[in-house]
């Protein structure tokens, strides 16, 4: 019987996998590599010392940026949180999902500004989504209270504000 080619997983490589999983999320890391979440966790927790060559070939391109000195910065860190999965989120309209992404990249002070853009300073009744935070529910409530014809216009304002925040964050990271 022919033995399959295996590679020993070093501490550096396990740390790189862990940093990649923190940046992407373990489920996203699993999805992009095609490697089961449980197996990735075993590699990260060093419960498995060897890795099949074909599995390594699927993982390596994604952890390569993290195989650097611990003091060295990762070149493209994530801005905003990882993708969330929840039945309530799946049922939302695309514009609602865009609003959640916009909220996610805004700083707290900018979130207050976003609330004013959506509500014109009027009292807001927050939505009751379990998958959203208090701020997100408040902004979603203000958004859904708007007349249909006004939603698109205000969402575009918020998108422009979020794009500027992301650009500013990237400039700060680079330099």
- Same domain? 166 vs 111: yes
Burial 134-153 (b: 16+ CB within 10 A, else e): ebbbbbbbbbbbbeeeebee
In a domain, 91, yes or no: yes
The answer to whether 6 and 51 have CB atoms below 8 angstroms apart is: yes
- Same domain? 159 vs 106: yes
Closest CA relative to residue 141, chosen from 122, 120, 126: 126
- Same domain? 12 vs 56: yes
Beta bridge partners of 50: 8
At CA 153, angle to CA 147 and CA 157, rounded to 5?
Answer: 130
- Same domain? 159 vs 93: yes
- Same domain? 48 vs 95: no
The answer to whether 53 and 6 have CB atoms below 8 angstroms apart is: yes
According to the model, what pLDDT value does residue 70 have? 47
Closest CA relative to residue 145, chosen from 110, 101, 115: 115
In a domain, 59, yes or no: yes
pLDDT, tens digit (0-9, with 9 covering 90-100), for 23-58? 888 888 888 888 898 988 888 888 888 888 888 888
In a domain, 79, yes or no: no
In a domain, 130, yes or no: yes
Q: What residues make up the domain containing 165?
A: 87-174
In a domain, 80, yes or no: no
* Number of domains into which the chain is organized: 2
Give the residue ranges of the chain where pLDDT is below 50: 1-2, 70, 74
Q: Where do runs of H (alpha helix) occur along the chain?
A: 11-24, 26-33, 37-44, 53-63, 87-91, 94-105, 108-119, 134-145, 148-174
According to the model, what pLDDT value does residue 45 have? 86
Estimate to the nearest angstrom the gap between the alpha carbon of 133 and the chain centroid.
15
Residue 26, domain CATH = 1.10.260
In a domain, 139, yes or no: yes
In a domain, 13, yes or no: yes
pTM above 0.75, yes or no: no
The answer to whether 25 and 71 have CB atoms below 8 angstroms apart is: no
In a domain, 78, yes or no: no
- Same domain? 132 vs 170: yes
- Same domain? 102 vs 162: yes
């Amino acid at each position: 019987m022919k033995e399959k080619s295996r590679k020993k997983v070093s501490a550096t490589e396990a740390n790189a996998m862990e940093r990649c999983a923190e940046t992407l999320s373990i489920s996203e890391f699993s999805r992009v590599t095609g490697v089961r979440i449980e197996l990735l966790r075993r590699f990260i927790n060093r419960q498995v010392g060897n890795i099949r060559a074909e599995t390594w070939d699927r993982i390596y391109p994604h952890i390569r940026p993290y195989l650097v000195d611990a003091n060295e910065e990762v070149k493209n860190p994530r801005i905003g949180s990882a993708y969330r999965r929840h039945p309530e989120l799946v049922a939302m309209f695309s514009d609602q999902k865009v609003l959640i992404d916009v909220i996610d990249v805004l700083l707290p002070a900018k979130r207050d500004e976003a609330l004013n853009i959506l509500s014109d300073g009027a009292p807001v009744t927050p939505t009751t989504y379990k998958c959203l935070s208090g701020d997100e529910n408040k902004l979603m409530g203000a958004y859904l209270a708007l007349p249909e014809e006004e939603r698109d216009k205000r969402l575009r304002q918020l998108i422009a504000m979020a794009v500027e925040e992301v650009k500013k964050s990237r400039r700060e990271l680079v330099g």
